Amino acid sequence: MISIETHNLTVSYNRRPVLWNIDFKLPTGQIIGIIGPNGSGKTTLLKAMMGLVKSSSGYVKIFDQPLEKVRDRISYVPQRESVDWDFPASVMDIVLMGRYRKNNLMKRLSKADRDLAAEALEKVNMLEYSDRQISQLSGGQQQRVFIARSLAQGADLYIMDEPFVGVDAATEEAILGLLSDMKKEGKTVIVVHHDLQTAKAYFDWMVLLNTRLVAAGPKEEIFNETLLQEAYGGKLNVLSKVGDLIKEKDFPVREKR
Amino acid sequence: MKETINFFSFSDPNVQFVVIGTMILGATAAMVGCFSFLRKRALVGDAIAHSILPGVCLAFIISGDKNPIYLIIGAFITGWISLLLIDGISRTTKLKNDASIGIILSVFFGIGILLLTSIQHSGNAAQAGLDKYLFGKAASLTQDDIFTFSTIGIFLITLTLLFYKEFKLISFNPDYAKTVGLPVKFLEFMLATITVLAVAVGIQAVGVVLMAALLITPASGARFWTNRLGIMIAIATFFGALSGFLGSYISYIAPAMPTGPWVVMCLSLLTVGSIWFAPKRGMLSKVRTQKDNKRKILIENVLKLFYHLGEKNDDFKKERNINELQEGRDLGISELKKGLSLLKKKNWLRKKDGNWVISTSGLEEAKRVIRLHRLWEMYLNQRLKLAPDHVHNDAEAIEHIITPELEKQLEKELNFPQKDPHESIIPYTES
């Protein structure tokens, strides 16, 4: 079974391509790490998968279908730093957002929604913080709230952007425990991660990225000196020069047909 | 006094119109402004307000009439165009958001003034009063105006209530809203529409120039009082309505005073008051916290002094005179005396024949502070690999803030060390 397929995906940011022809198929039921150095396009890849940025070419299929058809089966955990945590809301308010749907637009959330949110909070050991104002949380707790919000969606595929950045040891342990529980339930989890030290222990599968796809496969096949060197050894010279040219001349990445 | 009675009896229908009108305008603008504030688009409201002027003038030129409905439609259209242009400019050019706001605001306002001037010189008698849009005309609101305002006000409140939870999400994390499949574009359109409408109506009270205040100040003030969005909106709305009421009251008892600017003055006072006096987030509360901290540090330092002296001659309960105490620690005499009397109030010290003795409970407290100090030194030494002669100053500060939970964690992590890096004994309580 394929969870996500990207086909020749090229994504530009400010007209410069930041991902070139990414082409891979990822399995279901695995914990998959997307690994690469800073600026290698990991977050952009996630955003392209979730339809948050437009691709210049290529497509993404999830569970063999276009994104819009399977929205309810996938869930996204953005980077913790992408929001303002001084927003006036409690932990429960945020987790309940995981229950917002197109079909409950303009409606109040039900009792069942609240129960699911509480269950999700319990899974990340944060239930006793339900009424806490979110700005009073530590970084690790904020991360767990984001994960709880995502769990409350009850999806089959979870896409997390750098959940291990700047968290305490307790949170790291909680997230790892959660990942393995999710795997047991047959869920697929895709995690953007930049730390090579821990990558091998955390993931079953890996995607090595550095503006282009370096390799994708089970970690035994991927995690070796040669490929890591290739991923972390800087960008391809010609490729980034072509990228600069495309931006400078405002050229399209594909010829219009 | 007579004016006050007249005002509060509401017998004058004009008073009724002005009061009800400004209250509705203040309340709706404040409610909608909460979302602009939280989405960090405070200045966009200002740009919309200025961009509304050409719309009002054009509506008048086309209809030849000052009917509020026509004018609001005109205002609404140019207000919306300005929003689209601001977003368009920041998206397609290298100009940043603040620059595009500045450009659109001034260009639209310029066109507005141009049109207004040419209308005023056109000789059309119906134009009289159109210039009130610049500074507001709260004092001359009519029954028709009130009807229009209430209709729009109810419409805005209904929409906000209906989309409350979605507006909350797109204000906090719009990307996530997209990924759960919400129609974010549509919701943003609704929110923008509500904002433009609230501004279009609001400028009739305070005018183009002061409109941003009506939108943003109540939200800024309300934020200080609560951490709940619903309550924040309620407080902001209350501030808006209250200022509308007070503004019209002031201008009634002092006829030389304009209503709109006084509404804004009242709002500003409420907000400044909030910044100072709100519990927890307010400035005064911060000052108080600082004072409490200082006092805690003083008390604990004096207790430590008793402990250190007791440790030196192996008699914690010995009576100490003030000179001995002063020599023991680098503390000003007045500070020391203040600390002593505070400790006496807490019954951690008592006085005997003019000398000071530490009580049993005081000794326990002293032990706690000493323990935290030495545990922290130990922690710095072992975990941060700091040399023993580098840990003292740090511990002097940290000893005052470690909570009982953290203390337990420290003890566990360090495995209840007997001595600190300077070979001093770490006092534990028997229990």
Read off the pLDDT of residues A12-61 as tens digits, 9 standing for 90 and up: 888 888 999 999 999 999 999 999 998 889 999 999 999 999 998 999 99
For A53-82, write each residue's pLDDT tens digit: 999 899 999 999 999 999 999 999 999 999
| Sign of the four-CA dihedral A233, A237, A243, A244 | positive
Query: What residues does each domain of chain A span?
Result: 2-220+241-247
Contact A106 B163 (CB under 8 A): yes
Best residue in A46, A105, A153, A161 for a mutation probing chain B (most B CBs within 10 Å): A105
Question: Using CA atoms in the order A124, A130, A134, A138, what is the torsion angle rounded to 10 degrees?
Answer: -40
Please state the rounded mean pLDDT for residues A99-111: 91
In this prediction, residue B124 carries a pLDDT of 75
- pLDDT classification of A257: cutoffs 50, 70, 90: low
Q: Is A79 on the interface with B (CB under 8 A)?
A: no
Which of B278, B298, B314 terminates a domain? The answer is B278
Residue at a domain's end among B278, B304, B321: B278
State whether B54 and B125 are in the same domain: yes
**Pair (B151, B25) in one structural domain:** yes
Task: Look up residue B81 and give its two tokens.
Answer: 């165009």
Measured between beta carbons, the chain A residues lying within 8 angstroms of B176 are 76, 78, 97, 149
Architecture of the domain whose range is A2-220+241-247: 3-Layer(aba) Sandwich (3.40)
Domain count, chain B: 3
Question: Which residues of A fall within a CB distance of 8 Å from B38?
Answer: 87-88
The pLDDT averaged over each successive group of 10 residues in chain B (431 residues) is 76 83 93 96 92 93 85 92 93 90 95 92 77 80 85 93 96 96 94 93 86 94 95 97 93 85 94 94 93 95 93 89 86 90 93 91 94 95 92 93 93 92 88 55
Q: Which amino acid, one-letter code, is at B106?
A: S
3-state secondary structure (DSSP) of residue A228? helix
A109/B228 CB distance under 8 A:
no
The stretches of B283-359 forming alpha helices (DSSP H) are 283-313, 322-328, 333-345
What residue numbers bound the domain in which B318 lies? 285-358
Look at residue A39 in the predicted model and tell me its pLDDT: 86
Which parts of A14-127 are beta strand (E)? 16-27, 31-35, 57-62, 74-77
Distance from CA of A82 to the nearest CA of B (A): 8
According to the model, what pLDDT value does residue B207 have?
87
Q: Which of B14, B27, B66 is nearest to B150 (CA)?
A: B27
Write the DSSP assignment of B233-297 as a string of letters.
HHHHHHHHHHHHHHHHHHHHHSTTS-HHHHHHHHHHHHHHHHHHHSTTTSHHHHHHHHHHHHHHH
Averaged pLDDT, A213-217 = 94
User: Tell me, what's the pLDDT at B67?
Assistant: 82
pLDDT in the model for residue B80: 94
The first and second tokens of residue B32, run together, are 């909608």
> What angle do the packed helices B360-383 and B283-313 form, to 10 degrees?
100
Q: How far is B407 from chain A (nearest CA, A)?
A: 17
Q: Which of A75, A83, A88 sits opposite B223 (nearest CB)?
A: A88
Contact B172 A87 (CB under 8 A): yes
Residue the block writes with tokens 């991360």: A143
Residue A218: its H or E element: strand A212-218
Q: Which residues of B touch A93 (CB under 8 A)?
A: 168, 229
**For testing the chain A interface, which of B95, B227, B229, B406 should be mutated: the one with the most A CBs within 10 Å?**
B227
Regarding whether B349 and B324 lie in a shared domain, the answer is yes
Same domain for B396 and B339? no
Q: Give me the mean pLDDT over the A93-114 stretch.
A: 93
> If contacts are CB pairs under 8 Å, which of residues 163-202 in chain A contact chain B?
none
Find, among A122, A62, A68, A63, the residue nearest to A91 by Cα.
A122
What's the sign of the alpha-carbon dihedral B60, B66, B69, B72?
positive
User: Which pTM was predicted?
Assistant: 0.89
User: Is A235 a residue whose pLDDT tops 60?
Assistant: yes
The span from the first CA to the last CA of chain B, in angstroms, equals 70
Residue whose tokens read 């940043």 = B96
State whether B227 and A88 contact (CB < 8 Å): yes
Q: What percentage of residues in chain A have a pLDDT greater than 70? A: 99
Burial class (CB in 10 A: 0-12, 13-18, 19+), B426: buried
Nearest-angstrom CA–CA distance, B52 and B68: 13
What whole-number distance in Å separates Cα of residue B24 and Cα of residue B237?
A: 9
